[in-house]
Amino acid sequence: MPILLTRGVIRGAVLALSLAALSGCSMFSSADKRYEPAALTEYPAGVSASIAWTASFGSGGGYGFAPAMVGSSVYAAAANGNVVKIDLASGAIQWQANAGSKLSAGAGSDGDTTAVASKDGAVIAFDAQGVEKWRAQASSAVEIPPAVGSGVVVVRSSDYRIQAFDVATGEALWNVQRPGPALALKTNMQMRIVDGYLISGLPNGRLIVIDIASGNVQWEGAVAVSQGATDLERIRDVVGTPQIQGPLLCGVTYQGRMACFDLSQGGAPMWEQRFSSFTGMTMDGQQAYSANSRGVVYAFALADGHEVWKQNALANRSLTQPAVVPQAVAVGDIEGYVHFLARSDGHLLGRVSVGGGALVSPLTATPNGVLVQTGDGKLVMVGVN
């Protein structure tokens, strides 16, 4: 599963380079067994995982696509333009619409408005019944799911600009832009809206908190600082979804660090660990979890960042951002498997195949199990007992 690197629009044209070696699917894997995906082994099952339901709603996926869960419903989009609302318990499609063009990202929703982005940078919003409300134009291509909430639809475009649109009319409200690096990863990234603030990672290794009402930046903090002699060495993108647990705001970068900040203390740094991830992190009340760029899964204590455990049985399997359910930590892999690891010590508990090829969308923890968006336009609910 190659990770693509692209030059920001403000810096010029696309760099046509696929660094498969960086993602664990190395172009050298046939010659160097260190880069081959770890073989799946048999072990005593610690959980019972099975597919509860599957909903097919379109075709195509990619790094810009992730389901959005709101209450008892989930909203999703596929690259062919289809957008759906699905019942979380049964998988029944409650409404389905089509954006009329190929999509690059989606979906974001607050339950009343669902937003997606087309390949030409259009932001398209649908109402609570799946009827198109409005279209607006972002400053450049959007490859991160929109964030919807607190009266706005927010997108982050490839020129490193964060733009907000009025949720009712599509009117442009504010934008924030930061200088970007020469190269940025094309991988899973998501923004969050929490208590009237937008929280986003940036390609320059920083986290940013923006007041939704005004567009004013409230805080910025560096997870990692770019270093190195070349553009490739200096990549420090914040990847995945920024994580919040109580007063802690945490993020992880590629070729950099995992770090947590205390928002109750003005964003003061709490701890950091040298780390490199392609796909992001997740947390529960005690620990932070992430797979590094070689597919080794780690758990760190939230209190001080010390390493609790690591599991290398899934090395080089291009793991997704994890999801935490009561029974386990779940990660998806390059062959369409969802693996379950014990939260206490990381030992393997079980796995199930959801099909659809390599999983690149982040897994979503729900009260019903783990929600998976596959690359062939399906949503799959994996129940865990």
CA distance 105 to 154: 12
Average pLDDT, the chain: 91
Pick the residue with more confidence: 128 or 184?
128
On whether the CB atoms of residues 183 and 205 are closer than 8 A, the answer is no
Q: Is the pLDDT of residue 20 over 70?
A: no
Q: Which pLDDT value is given to residue 74?
A: 98
Q: Is the pLDDT of residue 6 over 60?
A: no
CA distance 243 to 239: 11
CA distance 174 to 164: 5
Q: Which pLDDT value is given to residue 17?
A: 34
Global pTM reads: 0.92
Pick the residue with more confidence: 300 or 23?
300
Give the percent of the chain with pLDDT over 90: 83
Q: Which pLDDT value is given to residue 215?
A: 98
Q: Which pLDDT value is given to residue 228?
A: 85
The 10s digit of each residue's pLDDT in 67-87 is 999 999 999 999 999 999 999
On whether the CB atoms of residues 141 and 119 are closer than 8 A, the answer is yes
Q: Which pLDDT value is given to residue 296?
A: 98
Q: Which pLDDT value is given to residue 290?
A: 98
Q: Is the pLDDT of residue 275 over 80?
A: yes
